[in-house]
Chain A
Amino acid sequence: MAACMSPGWCPIAVTLRPFLPALLLSAGLTLLMLPLQTDIDLSNTALLYVLLVVVIGSRYGRGPAIAAALASALLYAHVFVPPLFSLAITELQYLLAAGVMLVVALLVGHLTASLKAHAEQVQAREAQARALYDLARHLTAAQTPAEVEGITRHFLETVLQAREVRIVPQSAFAEPPAPLTPALLQAVLAARHPLLSAGAGPDRSLVLVPLLAAAGRGYLLACEIPGAAAGAGATRELLETASSVVLVALERTYFAEVARETEMRRSTESLRNSILSALSHDLRTPLTVMVGLADTLGLGKASPERQKSMLAALRNQALSINQLVTNLLDMARLRSGGIELNEDWQPIEEVIGATLQQVRSHWKDREVTLDIPAGLPPLRFDAVLVERVLWNLMENAIKYSPADTPVELVVRRVGEWLDVMVCDWGPGLPAEGGEELFGMFRRGQTESSIPGVGLGLAIARGIAEAHGGQVLAENRLGGGACFRLRLPIGNPPALEELEEAT
């Protein structure tokens, strides 16, 4: 409003502004009608004035409509009613016409204006209802109390021009953010009613709405809104409606969290049980063998050859326990989320070569073949962990396929992925598919003499997923199973030339 020179005058100027067109239009109509005075009947002229009042009433509201009615009546009487250009009305019928016109204009103007006010109110309510609906819709997607707070903040900022919107849970009442105080929060919560205009500044009001949930849990919705809005009854109503929606969302996130924790406890419990049962079986068996072997050897009665093979058995049992402990430790690290990837760009050939070397020294008599194309791009991965994956897959393939068949390692680039496949000529995957095998403590053959607890594949998959990759199981044509380690190729950084040290 560029015309506002002094701020004190502006409100008056704003209030008076709609009256100006009302008066101008009345005068304009009079001037327009003046040349046609002789052609148009007097009663039609009166109707035109009534029409003008209706238009002004619907456009500018009640006040201007009344002003227009009065002005029209005066102008009508003055300009059109004989004697012309005089307020004096000589004939009774003209007086009646002027009087009726004034009353009709007032009535119609009043009705139009109320209709307009009503329509505006309905529109405002509709906008609020839509905002509330949006609020409710967005809140259904909220997963955490912080998200609920964010959505509520957005709603109140849009609808009420609120600032400093916060949801304070009861647990944080002891140390609330300024300017809130613990006593104030407790008082509002105890009163169970919203508190408006607790005073946050001259033209801002502090609003505190208690959100009371079942079982004594409570939250407080706090915000600052413009002083004018704080006085309106609609604001209180809106706040109460909004806060009940917000409370439902808060409670939902609370119970979702409770359910998640319960589920986690339950799965931890069942994991603990399967670990215990697996350990008691898979650890005790080799330990029993070891004790027995040690005792028998201690007697010193076995033949030297026999003693030698018993000692070898003793060593193998100990190594299998070591493997078990390694797997359990890996699993514990993966499960606790405490795994930190030590990633680096490096060629996959290096890890494959090193793993193959270890596999060949561990299973000296087993044939392991490697098919790897040249010119593979470097990948970003943690070498120690990927080695564990390859070792586990190869150990599986070796253990679960006949000793006289080869284990094949095949590396292929498939689009944006690099696949390392470990394939065997064993019995293949169970009929119900391979997914089952990736669960913890799942074994291809549940009761068998093949040592292991069924953690290898679960670990392999856990590590692959931590790298953004996957481990997949499939049957190969002609029998046997293939386990596929799939790693993303990504964009290796370009190598700059390093200067040589002199």
Chain B
Amino acid sequence: MSETANILLVEDDRQIREFVAATLEGEGYAVIETGTAAQGAVEAGAHKPDLLILDLGLPDRDGVDFIRDYRAWSRVPVLILSARSQEAHKVAALDAGGDDYLTKPFGVSELLARVRALLRRSQQERGQADPLIRFGDCQIDCVRRQVSRGGEPLHLTQIEYRLLILLASNPGRVLTHRQLLLQIWGGQAVENHQYLRVYVGHLRQKIEDNPAQPRHLLTEIGVGYRFQP
């Protein structure tokens, strides 16, 4: 990373804020800390951070609303911190435009891995994306719309291809059921999770060595799917 990334941390618990900030600063990131959503919105406008880390349980405002407002004017990635009891809330925050989440309590290594992945991706988005995506022994040629595995061409249906491309072009990012259904089948299908599961199952049969224990198309239970290159 050529320049230091700015990270805005919005978390009301002081101790969590301190250890997260200390960890990130230890890795060379510049961290702006705030404890409220109102202050967070101000700082986001003033500093234009490269990444936003947002606690869902803020005292002054609902995190989902915050993300929705933020998404109205910014594409900067948002990492959500949530407690385990906030499952539905977490999915709503991802649907509203959150990019990834960490469930408390989380380890430092998990935190850093997510932060790196999000920053890397936002940097890639600014530059030119590679039309060739490689993972495992598979390769996707986005220009010729061809997928091959071990050098052999794979036959994918239209929907399978679009699902794979959507997931693979967001490596490491969790995509909710709703987001995937909306992108592939459109608005009328957002509640039909079963379709999605059937097609993910088909895709796993074609690209995974062991479809019951996938290595690339990972299930985030109760949330959605994540592509791991």
Chain A, Cβ-Cβ closest to B85? A329
Q: Within 8 Å of chain B (Cβ to Cβ): is A384?
A: yes
- Give the Cβ gap from A77 to chain B, nearest Cβ, in Å: 98
Residues of chain B within 8 A of A319, CB atoms compared:
105
Residues of chain A within 8 A of B162, CB atoms compared:
500
Q: Within 8 Å of chain B (Cβ to Cβ): is A499?
A: yes
Residues of chain A within 8 A of B159, CB atoms compared:
500
Interface-side segment among B29-37, B44-52, B140-148, B206-214: B206-214
When A322-B105, A498-B185, A500-B159 are in contact, do A378 and B197 touch as well, CB less than 8 Å? yes
A355 vs B201: C-alpha distance in the bound complex, in angstroms? 17
Q: Within 8 Å of chain A (Cβ to Cβ): is B129?
A: no
Q: Within 8 Å of chain B (Cβ to Cβ): is A433?
A: no
| From B197, B200, B220, residue with most partner A Cβ within 10 Å | B197
Chain A, Cβ-Cβ closest to B181? A498
CB pair B184–A344 under 8 Å, yes or no, is no
Q: Mark A369-405, 1 if CB is under 8 A from B, else 0.
A: 0101000001000011001000000000000000000
Q: Within 8 Å of chain A (Cβ to Cβ): is B222?
A: yes
- Give the Cβ gap from A393 to chain B, nearest Cβ, in Å: 16
Chain A, Cβ-Cβ closest to B225? A350
CB pair A344–B105 under 8 Å, yes or no, is no
CB pair B221–A345 under 8 Å, yes or no, is no
Chain A, Cβ-Cβ closest to B84? A326
A344 vs B198: C-alpha distance in the bound complex, in angstroms? 13
Q: Within 8 Å of chain B (Cβ to Cβ): is A501?
A: yes
Chain A, Cβ-Cβ closest to B88? A342
Q: Which residues between 168 and 199 of chain B lie within 8 Å of chain A, taking CB atoms?
A: 183-186, 189, 192-195, 197-198
Residues of chain B within 8 A of A97, CB atoms compared:
none
Residues of chain A within 8 A of B198, CB atoms compared:
495
Q: Within 8 Å of chain B (Cβ to Cβ): is A189?
A: no
A501 vs B183: C-alpha distance in the bound complex, in angstroms? 8
A93 vs B133: C-alpha distance in the bound complex, in angstroms? 135
Q: Within 8 Å of chain A (Cβ to Cβ): is B6?
A: no
How many of B's residues come within 8 Å of A, CB to CB?
A: 30
Q: Which residues between 478 and 502 of chain A lie within 8 Å of chain B, taking CB atoms?
A: 493, 495, 498-501
A107 vs B186: C-alpha distance in the bound complex, in angstroms? 97
CB pair B219–A351 under 8 Å, yes or no, is yes
When A353-B212, A378-B194 are in contact, do A500 and B184 touch as well, CB less than 8 Å? yes
Classify chain A: how many residues form its interface, as a range.
Answer: 20 to 34
- Give the Cβ gap from B217 to chain A, nearest Cβ, in Å: 10
Q: Mark B148-177, 1 if CB is under 8 A from A, else 0.
A: 000000000011001000000000000000
Contact of A352 among B183, B186, B212 (CB under 8 A): B212
Residues of chain B within 8 A of A499, CB atoms compared:
185
Q: Within 8 Å of chain A (Cβ to Cβ): is B218?
A: yes
- Give the Cβ gap from B166 to chain A, nearest Cβ, in Å: 12
Residues of chain A within 8 A of B85, CB atoms compared:
329
Q: Which residues between 55 and 108 of chain B lie within 8 Å of chain A, taking CB atoms?
A: 84-85, 87, 105, 107
Residues of A whose CB lies within 8 Å of any CB of B are: 315, 318-319, 322, 326, 329, 342, 344-347, 349-357, 370, 372, 378, 383-384, 387, 493, 495, 498-501
A-B contact pairs, 13 of them (CB 8 A): A315-B107, A326-B84, A345-B194, A346-B194, A346-B197, A350-B221, A351-B221, A353-B214, A354-B218, A354-B221, A384-B222, A495-B194, A501-B185
Instruction: Identify 19 new A-B residue pairs, CB closer than 8 A, beyond the known A355-B221, A383-B221, A498-B195.
Output: A322-B105, A344-B194, A345-B197, A349-B212, A350-B197, A350-B219, A353-B212, A354-B219, A357-B218, A378-B194, A378-B197, A384-B87, A384-B221, A387-B221, A500-B158, A500-B162, A500-B185, A500-B186, A501-B183
